[in-house]
Amino acid sequence: MNALREQLLSINNCLPLHTALVAVSKTQPVGIIRKAYEAGQRAFGESRPQALRDKASKLPEDIEWHFIGHLQSNKIKLVVGLAHTIHSADSEKLLIDLNKEAARRQCTQRCLLQVRIAQEETKYGFAPDELRALAASGFLAQLPHLQIAGLMGMATNTSDTAQIRREFRTMKSLYTELQQTCFPADPAFCELSMGMSNDYAIAVEEGSTIVRVGSAIFSVKN
Ligand SMILES: *Cc1c(COP(=O)(O)O)cnc(C)c1O
């Protein structure tokens, strides 16, 4: 058994059945992604539109591509219709533009709303109060070509696990609140994308349904 397969297995063994693993392949060449595919992995995460396009064109069609990077409006044509899920819908304008592009293509694009929970200036995303206001305004219900499927967030990059846990807990309670106020009885609003290589075990304990793991999978020697 090769090291990549072993690593995928050991991570999957730590995940409950309701939590999916997206293998973040953003820094990996096509050959390595193919090895992970051959080991059984089907969901991969990319953070740059052009790289997503290029890799998708060279790899099997049954790969489920997740777009996880900041998306500029002038690049959305490369992503809409190709990504199974866009995790990084992080502004009102981007949502409007994504909806427009999906309408033009006559498709429904699955998206997660990115929430800014980390104590770091550089992270993109909606502030929790901003998202509450957007939900209350009815705006999220006016995007017929988007399927809003949940929330995505990144915890602070810190060794303070109590802080990480608090941030994930905040995400989960915001998710529950939005589900009740804005998406009641909508089974499509079901995802909480949180947890990366260093913190996915905590994220799982706090209710994550999708972990996005890169280096912990791909840093193994093959
Ligand atoms: C790079 C990245 C990941 C994966 O990070 P690792 O620490 O390599 O697991 C997850 N989510 C997002 C949004 C990323 O940009």
What is the per-residue pLDDT for 141? 87
Q: How far apart are CA 222 and CA 213, in angstroms?
A: 18
Residue-averaged pLDDT of the chain: 95
Ligand 1: distance of its center to the CA of 218 in Å? 12
Q: Which residues lie with the beta carbon below 6 Å from any ligand 1 atom?
A: 24, 26, 47, 68, 154, 196-198, 212-216
Contacts of 220 (CB under 8 A, 6+ apart): 3, 4, 6, 7
Ligand 1: distance of its center to the CA of 182 in Å? 28
Range of the domain at 11: 3-218
For the cut 70, the answer to whether the pLDDT of residue 192 exceeds it is: yes
**Closest ligand 1 atom to the C-alpha of 212?**
10
CATH of the domain at 68: 3.20.20.10
What is the per-residue pLDDT for 220? 75
* pLDDT, tens only, 161-184: 999 999 999 999 999 999 999 998
* pTM for the model: 0.97
Ligand 1 pocket: which of 24, 26, 115 to mutate (most atoms within 8 A of CB): 24
Cα distances from 171 to residues 7, 62, 64, 135, 205, in angstroms, run 28, 31, 25, 15, 13
Kindly state the tokens that stand for 180: 């009740």
CA 93-94-97 angle, 5° bins = 90
For the cut 60, the answer to whether the pLDDT of residue 222 exceeds it is: no
The count of domains in the chain is 1
Contacts of 178 (CB under 8 A, 6+ apart): 131, 132, 135, 151, 189
Ligand 1: distance of its center to the CA of 154 in Å? 9
* pLDDT, tens only, 53-96: 999 999 999 999 999 999 999 999 999 999 999 999 999 999 99
